[in-house]
Structures are given as structure tokens and as C-alpha cells.
A and B are shown apart, each in its own frame.
Chain A
Amino acid sequence: MERIQPSSGALADAYIAGCRVGELRLQCCSRCGLHQFYPRIMCAHCFSEELEWVAATGRGEIISFTVVRRPISRAYDAPYVVALIKLQEGPTLMSHIVDCAPETIAVGLPVQVAFASWSESVALPVFTLDRQRGSSS
């Protein structure tokens, strides 16, 4: 059984293409300079249609998380951690926190992007605790 795959579309495909080459892509508005996620056909702030894909630093902070004990389907190994990550560039996205014991996770901790395979052709961003920044902050 396969995990849920992201549905397709021109903008989503461009985002996934970034994930395949290890880049977390955000749109940046050429007019107002704001980054946005999820990708849209216009800047949600100023409605400019001049948007550029840029590679995010991949660094962010956990603004909330939960440990899912009862999985949504057999394709997901519980427990798994669903979190909301606020990226350094501003936007927030949903992701997983991986490679750590759930009890070590807390709101406010810094995280760093990694990429995980979701199918033969799709990779998605996941996050790991950024121990380097965690200890220095």
C-alpha cells in the first residue's frame, strides 16, 4: 500500500521537481519581495503575477506538532510526527519530523529540511531537528 501521493498540476509538479533535486522551492514575488507557500498563480499579498521560484534555505522552526498514534492508513507507520514548520523565509508548511524520538520534539525547536521518497517519481520535504542551531540558540 502506497502513502497518499500529492495530486498533480503545473505548479505542484515544479515544486516536486525541486524536491527531486534536493531543493525546497518557494515562490518569491518580484514586485513585493515576499515568499509564499503553497505556490499560486499570483502573489497572495499584492496579486502580482511575476513570481520566481527560489530555493529556500530549508531552515525553520516547529510552530506545532503532534504524534499520530493511530495512522490514517496501513501505508503509514505509527507513531509518526506531523508538524507545522515556519520557514526562515516566512511561509509555514506541513511536514514530518523524522530521525528522532517523538519525546525530544518541542514547539520552537529549529529544524532543517531533508527529502524522503514518496514513490518512484516523487520525493517530499521532511524535517530533522537542527541540533547545531538548537544548541547554539
Chain B
Amino acid sequence: MSSLRGKVAIVGAADTRVGVVPDRTATELCVESILLALADAGIGKDEVDGLVTCNSMAQPMLYHAEAIAEYLAITPRYCFAAGAGGGTTFSVLHHAASAIVTGMAEVVVIAMADSLRSGLSRDQAMLMQSSTGHPQYEQPYGPTVPAYYALIAQAHMARYGTRPEHFAEIAVACRAHAARNPAAQMREPITVDDVLNSRMIADPLHLLDCSLVSDGGAAIILTSAERARDFRQPPVYVLGVGEGHGHEHISQAQDLTASAARESGQRAYAMAGLRPVDMDFAQLYDCFTPTVLVELEDLGFCAKGEGGAFVCEAGIGPAGQLPVNTHGGLLSHCHPGNPGSMFALTESVWQLRHTAGERQIGNARYGLLHAQGGIMSSHSTLILGREEG
């Protein structure tokens, strides 16, 4: 079996304004992100022959990617909208990379945007939240989205002695990164006490353990490593990618404290021929603080059960052993729903181009990105690098 390692590269990346962006619809944010990414790559729309999007909750469309292509007046030969929750971004990149290698397309735009903050009514937002969970056997009990993740946190606490302070440390680290990112929605530094004193939402999760609700969009341009040399930006190469899909509903999870991030990560490391210790930074899905802790363990940055100690002792902030979510993550940069990990992707491109400004990680060569969708259900891991191999 041939490997995708070093075969494709990201040659354009851009974010729209994020946070509260009432002057753009979700569709317009998606289109704007594409225009910005094309400009970054230095190409026109005629060079694009593939387009992948994810649907918007604020402006859902039955054929989302096709509608965006129509808006741009392009006629791609490869075009689809995907949905795997937060895991969509890297799953899609996995598919698009395969499409390029097998000749289905040469230059693929991946663009995702939504306006959860400005584009959804309260009723729509509640409907969206209550539609998570099994319609017969979970939803009637009224679990909120934070409640699902609280179940994971509580199980981890009971099994490994993890404490609310450990989760809080993750929110503090993400905010410290965001303080260095002028684009982030929340930049005021916070302390562990601030997190622990914020309103309890679903025990043990406080308000500041929960990610933001935002508007925003981002896009990247993916092409073959061969073609990438002709673009004006230094290419950022896909070295490893892997997925793991464990369950959909949390009541069906095999294990509440470990996830299919293990398999997803192992597949990505095997393809890249790299190990956790090789990573200069990691962007880990942080819809709620406990996901980061479980991902640090499942992706091999520390042993199972030692996530709490890792965030406190090794550190994941700007000065930590492993900087995590260098843009501020979903907790402090922005979280417009399914597109959330796109911002981890664009940030990683800038880190590996060495253009991340004040928050640049010194001499960054490799970065690991991880996303999950459902309730720790669908996992995808991506390893990017500055060099082809």
C-alpha cells in the first residue's frame, strides 16, 4: 500500500475575522475565507478543480459545497460537503489528499465557516444542542453538550485522581496563547482560580472549561508536493494522517477515559515515521478542557492517567514543554462549531512557515493536530512538517 507521506502540501491558508462577525452570513464567511486563501497562495479561481466544505448550522444547505462553488462561479470536478462534527477538518484533508494522489483533483480548496454566534436564534441553538445524543435513549434525559463531556471528566477524576485544577490549567494555557494572538476572540489572561470560580455548568465543568461560541471561517489550498514547488508560499507538507472511529453515543463508549485517538494517532505517527517527542507543538481539540487531557494521553505525550500532571508540570502554555493550541484554541481563539479545527490548521501552517509573529514557536519543524467529533467518537490526527520527508 502506498503512503500519503510527503505527497501533498498546503500552499495557501487564511482565516476570516473571527468572534462576533454580524456583518457576514455563514455562506459569505465561507466564500471570504476562500478568496483570502487563494490570495495567500497567489492563484486565481480557475486553478481550483476541487472544493470541500462542511455544512453550516446557521445557513444549512442540502448541497453545501456545490452551492459555494456556484457562488464562486467555479465548476470543480471534485466537490463535496462532509460532516463528522469537530473531526471533519482532518478527515476531509485525509480524503482530499487521497483524491490528489489518485488524480481526482489537482488543486483542492478546503473551506469551512459558520456563524453560530450571530446567525442562530436561541431556539435554533437549543435545537442543535438537544439533537446531540441518541434520540430514543439519551435525548429524553436532557443532557447538554457540556454534560456529555462532564461525564468523561468525572470518570477520569474517579479513575486517575484528576482534579478540576488540572482541567482549569488547560483553559489558562489556551488563554495565554490567545493573549499573543491579535485575532483571538478572548485575550485577557486568566488564572486557575478564575476558572474554578466561574459558574458551574455541568459538574465538574465550569464556564471557563467550555469553548466559545463564535462566527468565523477558514480555508486552505492543498495540492501535490510536486505542484507545490511552483507556489509562492513555502509548502507545508502532510507527513502523516490517521483516523479512528470508536462509537457515536457516549453511552456506547467502550471506555470513558480512553478514546480512538489512540488508533488515530498511531496511524498518523506510523505514516510520518515520527514520535510524540518529535513534535514542536500540538493543536488538540478543546471543545471542553477534559478533551485535551485525554488526547495528551491517547496521543502518547504522557502515560494514561498522567494528563493532569503533564499539564501542570511539563506545561502546555507558551513556555511549556509542549505548546498546545498556539492560536488559543476553541477555548480562547474561536469556536464556530464544525469548522473549529480549521483554525488549528491555518495556525499550524503559519507556525511551520515561521510567520506566526509573537507566538512563533522557535524553529518549529513538526506539528501534530488532532480533532474529534461526536462525544470523543470520531478522531482524526494530522502531522505536518516543513520538509517533504
Contact = CB atoms under 8 A, between A and B. Distances in A.
B141 A96 contact: yes
Interface residues on B, range: 35 or more
Interface string B174-210: 0000000000000000000000000111111100000
A69 B154 contact: no
A4 B142 contact: yes
A104 interface: no
Interface string A64-81: 111111111101100010
A114 interface: no
Nearest to B135: A7
B158 A107 contact: yes
A82 interface: yes
Contact of B256 (A6, A38, A84, A93): A84
A90 interface: no
A134 interface: no
B140 A118 contact: yes
Given A94-B250, A108-B158, A68 B136 contact: no
B35 interface: no
A15 B140 CA distance: 14
A135 interface: no
A92 interface: yes
Interface in B133-165: 133-144, 146-147, 150-155, 158-159
Given A64-B256, A69-B201, A84 B250 contact: yes
Chain A CB within 10 A, most for which of B139, B205, B250: B139
A128 interface: no
A96 B200 CA distance: 19
Contact of A6 (B130, B137, B146, B203): B137
B137 A80 contact: no
B68 to A, nearest CB: 32
A15 B141 CA distance: 16
Contacts of B134: 38, 94
A73 B142 contact: yes
A129 interface: no
B360 interface: no
Given A63-B155, A92-B252, A38 B136 contact: yes
Given A63-B256, A66-B147, A94 B138 contact: yes
A106 B203 CA distance: 12
A71 B341 CA distance: 27
Contacts of A95: 141
A59 to B, nearest CB: 17
Nearest to B155: A64
Contacts of B151: 64-66, 82-84
Interface in B347-371: none
Interface string A96-127: 10000010001110000000001000001000
Contacts of A73: 126, 130, 142
A63 B250 CA distance: 12
Given A66-B203, A67-B203, A70-B202, A124 B140 contact: yes
B144 A80 contact: no
A73 B143 CA distance: 10
B201 A93 contact: no
Given A6-B136, A107-B158, A94 B126 contact: no
Contacts of A65: 151, 154
A12 B130 CA distance: 19
B98 interface: no
Contacts of B155: 63-64, 107
A15 B134 CA distance: 15
A80 B142 contact: yes
21 contacts: A4-B130, A4-B140, A12-B136, A63-B256, A64-B154, A65-B151, A66-B203, A66-B205, A67-B200, A70-B201, A72-B129, A72-B142, A82-B141, A82-B143, A83-B151, A93-B251, A94-B134, A94-B138, A94-B250, A102-B203, A107-B158
Interface of A: 3-7, 9, 12, 15, 37-38, 63-73, 75-76, 80, 82-84, 92-96, 102, 106-108, 118, 124
Given A63-B155, A73-B126, 7 more contacts: A64-B154, A67-B200, A69-B200, A72-B126, A80-B142, A94-B143, A96-B141
